[in-house]
Chain A
Amino acid sequence: MARLLHILTFTFLAAGPALAQDMPLSQILLAGEEWKTVEAAERPSPPPPVVLDAVRDARLRQPTCTVRIGHTLYAGYPQSRALIAFTLGTDNVPQHPAPYCPLRRKPGSPGVDVTALTVDREGRIYAATSLGIQVFDPTGRLCGVLTTPPGRVEQMAFENDQLTLWIGPVKYSRRLNTHAAP
């Protein structure tokens, strides 16, 4: 209640657009929920390779994964420092790339591989990396990192309120307090 009052106090008294709503991981984590293996799961075909000239980064690398929400396309790259956000113009042409979501990296490391991306209905962006699933709010700020079972996440998606991962031949799922984006 005190935290709600604090948020409301700020909302009504603060300097205009001074602070976007914070989205700590606690908003999506559910007590007692962990990663569970999904038995007899049939792995979907991997998504087609992303080969879009417009989303090649400054070093002319192709993204390993992309996800769209609204009029923004987020792209993940190997050994990168940030998810790149593109604005989708008319005809859905990606333009104006910017390192919108700075990724957590191992100290001293030049970058981290982003292997899968997804979004939830509140607009959070989920980026699968070797450090875990890095979750960003819609303004590009890191909310936190979800730990994952060992291995490289090759595919990731929401199925209703379950975040699902494919690591090798195994499918994992975990219920979160959110839902797939419409």
Chain B
Amino acid sequence: MTRVGSWLAFVLLVAAVASSPLGVTGADDYTFGPDSQRQPNVPKGQVTPFKWNTSKVFPGTERDCWLYVPAQYDGQTPACVMVFQDGGNYVNDTGPFRVPIVFDNLIHKKHMPVTVGIFINPGTFPAADGKGKGRSNRSFEYDTLSDQYARFLEQEILPEVEKKVKLRSDAAGRAICGISSGGICAFTVAWERPDLFSKVLSHVGSFTNIRGGDVYPGLIRKTERKPLRIFLQEGTGDLDNLHGNWPLANLSMAAALNYMQYDYRFVMGDGGHNGKHGGAILPEALRWLWRDTPPPAAK
């Protein structure tokens, strides 16, 4: 499509989104395909929970994590790695994403490389006396535009996982994914540290003014292009609230990535602020994200 044609398509899509009544949800009737369901004769990976309660980057926080190791991991060859924010939702076999099932199927078919999944819940500050509600650190960790979450991964989580499995250390072998604030978090990590993660998967990402995330389209346009590959999933029924309009924000992100000729893909469905659409197209997104992944450079 020519630049004029793609610009016209954007304008029409913006007009469609802007004219939608507030709060309307679309059909949002997405269903899982076969790659999101257990298939016979597909080796099953191992999911192991662990906790991270001793963070120095986010001191005082506690969180649940999970590690997925595919059956094809041979113990010697460093595996690709993919990090998921709000990990509990992504690792759930009966949730909207079912990542372990999808990974099992795609890795078995060689539609993506042998990849370890690291699923991390946001931190909370527990009440000191063990009673009462803890304080959520999710927005602070996920929505803040800084390198803090990237340092958390680099200095704490990845080394912890590497005690158990060998991971690729090159950005081409690393991806990061999240939904809502987890989506902008994924982008922030890659934006701040493209040497650590080069592949981003965002589901209904919160590129709005929760904590200043609406600046990204402008930053993208005026920054030398970074070696990133970005998949954005959004829905016309997504949020329009005090922080911003999610469909417009994601459109703005896509337009900026398009302008700067990033390797990106933008899929706009009709869903709302949930994982139904993203989950239904997860296999397709992962195939696109991990396509042509080069082997690790020889040391």
Contact = CB atoms under 8 A, between A and B. Distances in A.
A153 B133 CA distance: 31
Contacts of B237: 6
Interface string B251-293: 0000000000000000000001111100000000000000000
Contact of A15 (B58, B89, B135): B89
Interface string B73-85: 0000000000000
A87 B140 CA distance: 14
B125 A25 contact: no
B181 interface: yes
B22 A13 contact: no
Contacts of B58: 98
Contacts of B96: 13, 15
B139 A15 contact: no
Contacts of A98: 58, 137, 140
A22 interface: yes
A136 to B, nearest CB: 10
Interface string A23-60: 01100000000000000000000000000000000000
Given A10-B273, A20-B138, A102-B211, A2 B23 contact: yes
A25 B242 contact: yes
A92 to B, nearest CB: 8
Contact of B181 (A19, A24, A85): A19
Given A16-B89, A17-B122, A18-B86, A96 B128 contact: no
A61 B291 CA distance: 52
A17 to B, nearest CB: 6
B88 interface: yes
B272 A18 contact: no
B136 A18 contact: no
B5 interface: no
B121 interface: yes
A6 B23 contact: yes
Interface of B: 21-25, 58-60, 86, 88-90, 95-97, 121-122, 125, 127-129, 132-140, 143-144, 179-182, 203, 210-212, 237, 239, 241-243, 272-276
Interface of A: 2-3, 5-6, 9-10, 13-20, 22, 24-25, 70-72, 85, 87-90, 95-96, 98, 100, 102, 138-141, 143-144
